[in-house]
Structure 1
Amino acid sequence: MIDVRLQLSVNDARRRFDLDIAFATDAPFVALYGPSGAGKSLTLQAMAGLLPVQAGHVRLNGRALLDTAGGVCLAPEARGVGYLFQQYALFPHLSVRDNIAFGLTSWRRRLKADDAARVDALIESFGLAALAASRPATLSGGQQQRVALARALACKPRVLLLDEPFAALHTTLRRELRAELRELRRRLGIPAVIVSHDPEDVMALADEVFLLDGGGVRQRLRADDPDLRAALERSP
């Protein structure tokens, strides 16, 4: 069960944006769908502990990651969250192997034997063995995404957060990686939350969809809802 209730504000000299969002779901794969500026990425960042929250909570299977009323605010590394950033945020000076190892909460320059074994296993499972010593700049978009996803999984997360994971990829590769991601989530058995404004991402992956606009949830739909595609196409 993912249970989220968040209130926060972000602003600069020109604009203020208020996020006031609530949703709870048992769905294995959840999509937050809506136009740019709807509050989708802010929601993921707040869930991961990367943004200050004025009021609310984030609970995962009954465990409070955040509860402002109860004084709970776990550090990002203590939340058990795997986060795939929209632009992947790989470290350009590190190899594929070191980028993946950096995702371990106990990461050091010299990994413990069990941590090193986990990194090796992730490299193999994502088909990155031949690229382990390569730098991100030499990789294709799909390869970079696999590295970023392996890094997100290195800390054995309890939930996976995916911020527009296919935005930088061409159509054919997007289809291939959607299928890979769907199978990966099923194999891991952990819930995932994806942010997207592409109806095809939602139709291919999500079990439940929350339509966002203006910083809040406007509609909730299941994947088997016959009106899902029409609702996605109507969304601003």
Structure 2
Amino acid sequence: MIDIALKLSVSDARRRFDLDIAFATDAPFVALYGPSGAGKSLTLQAMAGLLPVRAGHVKLGGRALLDTAAGIDLPPQARGIGYLFQHYALFPHLSVRDNIAFGLTDWRRRLTPADAARVDELIESFGLAGLARSKPATLSGGQQQRVALARALACKPQVLLLDEPFAALHTTLRRQLREELRELRRRLGIPALIVSHDAEDVKALAEEVFILDGGGLQRRLRVDDPDLAAALEQVG
């Protein structure tokens, strides 16, 4: 189960944005849907431990990653979360293999044999064997996404967070990669949460949809709800 309750604020010299959201779900694939600026990406960042939270909790399968009342706040690397950033955030100076391996190493140690085998397995399963020594700038958009996904999965996460994973891709490739992503999640057996403002992403992937606007949860719908299409169109 994904169980979150988050209250936080972000601001700059011109504006302040408050996020106040709570939900719990057992759905294997969840979508956060809404217009730009609704708080969708902030929700993912807070779940992953990339933003300070004023009050609330993040629990995965009953394990508390964050609980401000109990003084629990695990660092990002201890949360067991795989994160696919909107623009993939690949390191341009590293090869495909080194990008995938990045989360398994630090300045103190090299890859263990088990971790190296894990990286090789991911390279093969994502069809990247011929590109293992290539740099991100030489890859297509779909190839870059596969590298970023493989990196997110290298740490064997408990949940996969996907921030607008198809935003930079053309329509035909989007359809193909939606199918691949749906099959990948099913094969891994871990829950996934996708952020999108594209209704087609939601209808193709999600079992449950949370509609956000203005930093709060506006509506919760199952994908088989007869009101879903109208609700997504209204937001869009």
TM-score (ref. length: structure 1): 0.98
2:128 corresponds to 1:128: yes
Residue 229 of structure 1 deviates from its aligned partner by 1.1
Letter aligned with residue 13 of structure 1: A
Letter aligned with residue 189 of structure 1: G
8 Å Cα contact 1:77/1:105 also seen in 2: no
Q: Give the distance between the partners of 2:173 and 2:31, measured in 1 at CA.
A: 20
1:1-236 aligned within 5 A: 1-104=1-104, 110-236=110-236
Letter aligned with residue 36 of structure 1: S
Q: Give the distance between the partners of 2:91 and 2:106, measured in 1 at CA.
A: 18
Uncovered stretches (5+) of structure 1, i.e. residues with no partner: none
8 Å Cα contact 1:103/1:153 also seen in 2: no
TM-score (ref. length: structure 2): 0.98
Residue 109 of structure 1 deviates from its aligned partner by 6.4
Q: Give the distance between the partners of 1:10 and 1:195, measured in 2 at CA.
A: 19
Residue 104 of structure 1 deviates from its aligned partner by 1.9
Say how many residue pairs are matched: 236
Q: Secondary structure at the match of 2:212?
A: strand
Letter aligned with residue 191 of structure 1: P
Residue 110 of structure 1 deviates from its aligned partner by 3.1
Q: Give the distance between the partners of 2:75 and 2:18, measured in 1 at CA.
A: 23
Q: Give the distance between the partners of 2:170 and 2:234, measured in 1 at CA.
A: 24
Letter aligned with residue 148 of structure 1: A
8 Å Cα contact 1:31/1:208 also seen in 2: yes
Q: Secondary structure at the match of 1:175?
A: helix
> Using a 3 Å threshold, how does the CA distance of structure 1 residues 190 and 14 change in structure 2: closer, same or farther?
same
Q: Secondary structure at the match of 2:232?
A: helix
Q: Secondary structure at the match of 2:104?
A: coil
Q: Deviations over 1:187-231 (max 9, x none)?
A: 000000000000000000000000000001000000111111111
Q: Secondary structure at the match of 1:82?
A: strand
Letter aligned with residue 184 of structure 1: L
Q: Give the distance between the partners of 2:108 and 2:175, measured in 1 at CA.
A: 36
Letter aligned with residue 86 of structure 1: Q
Identical amino acids, percent of aligned pairs: 84
8 Å Cα contact 1:163/1:196 also seen in 2: yes
8 Å Cα contact 1:3/1:60 also seen in 2: yes
Letter aligned with residue 24 of structure 2: A
> Using a 3 Å threshold, how does the CA distance of structure 1 residues 41 and 123 change in structure 2: closer, same or farther?
same
Q: Give the distance between the partners of 1:211 and 1:111, measured in 2 at CA.
A: 41
Q: Secondary structure at the match of 1:195?
A: strand
Uncovered stretches (5+) of structure 2, i.e. residues with no partner: none
Q: Deviations over 1:144-196 (max 9, x none)?
A: 00000000000000000000000000000000000000000000000000000
Q: Secondary structure at the match of 1:36?
A: coil
Letter aligned with residue 113 of structure 1: P
Question: What is the root-mean-square deviation in Å for CA atoms of aligned residues?
Answer: 1.1
Letter aligned with residue 134 of structure 2: S
Q: Secondary structure at the match of 2:41?
A: helix
Moved over 4 A (4+): 105-109
Q: Give the distance between the partners of 2:109 and 2:58, measured in 1 at CA.
A: 32
Q: Give the distance between the partners of 1:108 and 1:83, measured in 2 at CA.
A: 23
